[in-house]
Amino acid sequence: MQQTTEQTERKKRVLSCIQPTGIPTLGNYLGALRNWVDMQDSFDCAFAVADLHALTVRQEPSKLRQQIYEMFALLLAIGLDPEKHMIFVQSQVPQHAELSWLLSCCTQFGELSRMTQFKDKSQKHSDNINLGLFAYPTLMAADILLYQPDFVPVGEDQKQHCELTRNIAERFNSLYGSTFTVPEPYIMRRGGRVRSLQDPTKKMSKSDENQNAFISLKDDPDTVLRKFRRAVTDSEAVVRYAEGKDGINNLMDIYSTITDKDYDAIEAEFAGRGYGDFKTAVGEAVVEVLKPVQECFAVYMSDKAQLDALMKQGAERASWVAARTLNKAKKKMGLLLEK
């Protein structure tokens, strides 16, 4: 069944991964996750919970285990279809770690030392600058190349990783012969970059110390509305998109993304009305978008046996694809395969 599907597929393949380091924000949902749902009709997709990457920072084991379940359940809750596409947990597919070592031997030290995220995380976690933190871009390359994707969705902060993956694939192909598809970056079409509700010069982040700065996908309606009513704006009290109105611009971006209304329509809708009405309207729109996701998430989290079964199904499908790529790479490098 799996082999027939693999041989007859005609759609281009896309791979996306997300770390289980806490519930995503509204920014993650509008900027990336909702696009993943849209891609299912046009592409053959692989979606992974990248739990091995989370280990570059020290984790509490029981908490990490729970977060892996929650992230997997959330991917299902937003509408990703495990029957049509691969949805799996990275650590349950051992080929990721094995290919990572092979690719490490084709990755230059200088390439890794120039990665900006390593520099940033080293400053934040100066007491734990480990080898995994330095080399994780190679694991990321393995995550991608195992599934021979044509495209990899990327945000601004991931372009460097995508370029490194392309460099590694091209170097391997040059040294050992055609092995990996060299993926192209796929630019998301909607969602943009949602900003902090308290400092709209920065992107919304779940690691923000100010809880009012971000909307978690698990926030209840009252919390969502309260956070939007406290959102930073300006003293003009006119809903319009303009330079110097970062707070209102951010709220208009969110409202536009959810309602599909352009800026002119939003300005007309709230002409003569104050920021209070607008903040409430944005909050209510977000509540309506999150409601079905939260309800579905609660159902999945209430049945761990079902989640385990779906994880196993996803890991088996992913392993079948990944093993073909890994064996091809091992053979090209001169290693012996299991008899």
Taking only the tens place, the pLDDT of each residue in 205-245 is 998 999 999 999 999 999 999 999 999 999 999 999 999 99
Let me know if 121 is a catalytic residue: yes
Q: Record the tokens describing residue 224, joined without a space.
A: 């969502």
Q: Active site residue: 12, 63, 84, 121, which one?
A: 121
Q: Record the tokens describing residue 96, joined without a space.
A: 């990721």
* Structural domain boundaries enclosing 135: 2-192+304-333
Which CATH number characterizes residue 266's domain?
1.10.240.10
Q: Which comes out higher in pLDDT, residue 186 or 329?
A: 329
* Residue 147 shares a structural domain with residue 287: no
Percent of the chain as helix, strand, coil, to the nearest 5: 60, 10, 35
| 217 within 8 A of 33, measured Cβ to Cβ | no
Which pLDDT belongs to residue 190? Answer: 63
Read off the pLDDT band of 120 (50, 70, 90).
Answer: confident
Q: Is residue 277 part of a domain?
A: yes
Across 148-165, average pLDDT = 87
Let me know if 84 is a catalytic residue: no
Let me know if 291 is a catalytic residue: no
* Residue 172 shares a structural domain with residue 53: yes
Tell me how far apart the alpha carbons of residues 138 and 221 are, in angstroms, rounded to a whole number. 41
* Residue 48 shares a structural domain with residue 173: yes
Give backbone dihedrals phi and psi of 188, rounded to 5 degrees, phi first.
-60, 145
* Residue 157 shares a structural domain with residue 260: no
Q: Active site residue: 12, 203, 312, 330, which one?
A: 203
pLDDT higher than 70, residue 65 = yes
pTM over 0.85: yes
Read off the pLDDT band of 160 (50, 70, 90).
Answer: confident
Which CATH number characterizes residue 150's domain?
3.40.50.620
* Residue 288 shares a structural domain with residue 320: no
Q: Is residue 201 part of a domain?
A: no
Q: Give the contacts of 157 (CB within 8 A, at least 6 positions apart).
A: 117
Q: What is the H or E stretch that residue 159 is in? A: helix 159-176
Q: Active site residue: 11, 119, 202, 206, which one?
A: 206
80-108 burial string, b = 16+ CB within 10 Å, else e?
A: bebeebbbbbbbbbebbebbbebbeebbe
Tell me how far apart the alpha carbons of residues 31 and 35 are, in angstroms, rounded to a whole number. 7
Positive or negative CA dihedral for 255, 256, 260, 261? positive
Q: Is residue 200 part of a domain?
A: no
